[in-house]
Amino acid sequence: MRIETLFTPSEITEPAVRDKTVAVIDVLRACSTIAFAMSRGCERIVPVASVEAAMNLASSLEKKVTLLGGEREGKRIDGFDLGNSPLEYTTEVVKGKAVVLATTNGTKAITMSQGAREILVASFVNMASVVERASALEGGPLTVVCAGEVGRFALEDAVCAGMLIERLGEKTAVELNDGAHAARCLYRQNKDSIPELLKECEHGRYLDSLGFAKDLDICSRVDSLSILPVVKEGRIVKPKRAKRK
Nearest to 108 by CA among 91, 129, 126, 84: 84
Does 201 help bind a copy of itself (rule: CB under 8 A)?
Answer: yes
Work out which of 186, 207, 219, 228 binds a copy of itself, going by CB under 8 A: 186
234, 42 contact by CB (below 8 A): no
Site for a copy of itself in 78-107 (CB under 8 A): none
In the complex with a copy of itself, which residue's Cβ is closer, 70 or 179? Answer: 179
Does 219 help bind a copy of itself (rule: CB under 8 A)?
Answer: no
| Rounded Cα–Cα distance for residues 207 and 183 (Å) | 23
Site for a copy of itself in 32-71 (CB under 8 A): none
Site for a copy of itself in 129-168 (CB under 8 A): 149, 151-155, 158
Q: What angle do CA 60, 77, 225 make, to 5 degrees?
A: 85
| Rounded Cα–Cα distance for residues 105 and 148 (Å) | 7
Nearest to 172 by CA among 127, 121, 228, 134: 134
Does 189 help bind a copy of itself (rule: CB under 8 A)?
Answer: yes
| Rounded Cα–Cα distance for residues 233 and 10 (Å) | 22
Does 7 help bind a copy of itself (rule: CB under 8 A)?
Answer: yes
Does 182 help bind a copy of itself (rule: CB under 8 A)?
Answer: yes
In the complex with a copy of itself, which residue's Cβ is closer, 130 or 155? Answer: 155
Instruction: Determine the interface stretch with a copy of itself among 55-63, 89-97, 196-204, 236-244 (rule: CB under 8 A).
Output: 196-204
In the complex with a copy of itself, which residue's Cβ is closer, 131 or 186? Answer: 186
The separation between CA 54 and the C-alpha centre of its own chain, rounded to angstroms, equals 18
Least distance CB 49 / a copy of itself (angstroms): 17
Least distance CB 188 / a copy of itself (angstroms): 8
Least distance CB 4 / a copy of itself (angstroms): 9
Least distance CB 116 / a copy of itself (angstroms): 18
CA-based Rg of the chain, rounded to a whole angstrom? 16
Does 6 help bind a copy of itself (rule: CB under 8 A)?
Answer: yes
In the complex with a copy of itself, which residue's Cβ is closer, 87 or 150? Answer: 150
Nearest to 33 by CA among 78, 77, 74, 79: 74
Does 10 help bind a copy of itself (rule: CB under 8 A)?
Answer: yes
Starting at the earlier edge strand, list the strands of the sheet with 230-232.
75-76, 66-72, 98-102, 44-48, 235-237, 230-232, 118-122, 21-25, 142-146, 2-6, 175-176
111, 117 contact by CB (below 8 A): no
Binding site for a copy of itself (CB under 8 A): 5-8, 10-11, 13, 149, 151-155, 158, 177-179, 181-182, 185-186, 189, 201-203
